[in-house]
């Protein structure tokens, strides 16, 4: 199966579990030292997840969130978001999270982040 088709076939599962994935990512961004995710981590998780989704849906899926990624508060979390993406997707999606799909999500996140920051 072509990797672009793979992404589009699995995007509905991502969207259906968006709240779960964002909550897990918010907590991950907060780190163990902080206890519970605050508004900054929740906002960062939401915007960065949206950026990844836009990247999976192709170049025509440009979003109004891209300028928000330039905000220093959001950028502060971008690298950690990318680092935690694979394990959180695997935990949240279970069997739906094939290695190819998880890799595609991570690749699209990094490419979209770079484009949004340019």
- DSSP character string of 13-25: HHHHTHHHHHHHH
Predicted confidence (pLDDT) per residue in 95-113, tens digit: 877 889 999 999 999 988 8
97/78 Cα distance (integer angstroms)? 21
Predicted confidence (pLDDT) per residue in 17-56, tens digit: 999 999 999 999 998 667 788 888 999 999 999 999 988 8
Domain ranges for the chain: 3-117
Give the contacts of 108 (CB within 8 A, at least 6 positions apart). 7, 52, 55, 56
């Amino acid at each position: 199966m072509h990797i672009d088709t793979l992404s589009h076939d699995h995007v509905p599962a991502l969207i259906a579990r968006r709240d779960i994935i964002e909550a897990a990512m918010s907590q991950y961004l907060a780190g163990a030292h902080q206890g519970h995710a605050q508004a900054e981590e929740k906002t960062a998780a939401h915007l960065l997840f949206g950026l990844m989704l836009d990247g999976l849906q192709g170049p025509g899926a440009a979003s109004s969130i891209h300028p928000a990624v330039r905000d220093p508060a959001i950028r502060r979390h971008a690298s950690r978001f990318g680092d935690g993406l694979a394990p959180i997707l695997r935990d949240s999606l279970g069997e739906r999270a094939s290695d190819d799909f998880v890799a595609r999500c991570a690749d699209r996140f990094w490419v979209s982040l770079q484009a949004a920051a340019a």
